[in-house]
Amino acid sequence: MITIEYLKNYDEMSQYVATLVGKLIDVGTPLNLGTPTGGTPIGMYKKLVNTGLNWNNVHTFNLDEYVGIDKKHPQSYHKFMWDNLHAYVGLNPYKIHFPHLEYDMEIEALGGLDLTILGIGTNGHIAFNEPGSSFSSVTRIVNLSQQTIMDNSRFFDSINQVPTQAITMGLHTIMKSRQVILMGQGEKKLDILKRALWGMVTEDIPASILQYHPNLRVFYCD
C-alpha cells in the first residue's frame, strides 16, 4: 500500500518538499521539472526561491494552463509561475515550458520529465485531467468539470469568469515522469488522497493511476 507521509503543518510540508527538490537542483545535472499551480505548492515555491540555488541546469514544464484567458491575465498559470517562481530564479525563457499540442514530443526530445510535482483536485484530478480522463491520455485540450470550476472560482471575481477549458499534460505524460511527488493539504484532500491511493484504480479518479507509479511520494498536512 502507498504511504501517505504526514507533515505537522503546511510550513513543514512546503519545507520538506522544497528540500527534496533543492537537493536535485543542487546536483547540477540536467533536471526537467514538472511544475504545478494551485494553492498547495505556493509555500514550496516560497521556500525554494529563498535558497539561492543555481537553476542553470533546470527546465520547468508546467502541468497545465487555462484556455481562453491571456497569459497576462492575473489568474493565468503563466502569471502564477512568474509570480511564484520564474521571476526569482533567472531561468532563461527557453527553459520555461508550457503545454501545447506537441508537448509530449517536446518533453521527450529534451530527455523526459525527471520529477513532476502534483497537487490534487477534490474530485481526484491531477493537472487538469478530470474524472473520466483516459489513462493513456497525452497533452490535450479538455473541458473543466463543474466541480473544478467551482473550486477554482475562489481565485476569480465570479464563477462566470472561470475558464471552462484548459490544456493539460495527460495522465500518460505524468506517468512517464521518472519521479512523482503528490501534495495535499486539508481534510478534503485527505479524503480524496485515500480514495485515490488506497481504493480502486479507475479513470473516475484520475489520481488513482499513480498507484502504478514506481517512484511516487505523497505528502499531506492538515
Q: Which residues bind ligand GLP (CB under 6 A)?
A: 36-40, 63-64, 119-121, 127-128, 148, 152
- Taking the complex as a whole, the smallest distance from the CB of residue 110 to ligand GLP amounts, in Å, to 21
Starting at the earlier edge strand, list the strands of the sheet with 115-118: 4-6, 216-221, 179-185, 115-118, 31-35, 58-62, 96-97
Q: Where are the alpha helices (DSSP H) in 159-219?
A: 171-175, 187-198
Catalytic positions are: 64, 123, 125, 130
SS3 159: helix
CB-wise, 37 or 137, nearer to ligand GLP?
37
Least distance (Å) between residue 26 CB and ligand GLP: 26
Handedness of CA 133, 145, 127, 215 (dihedral sign): negative
* Under 8 Å between Cβ of 4 and 218: yes
- Provide, rounded to whole angstroms, the least separation between the CB of residue 152 and ligand GLP: 5
Smaller CB distance to ligand GLP: residue 44 or 89?
44
Q: Which is nearer to ligand GLP, 57 or 194 (CB)?
A: 194
Task: Give the residue carrying C-alpha cell 479538455.
Answer: 142
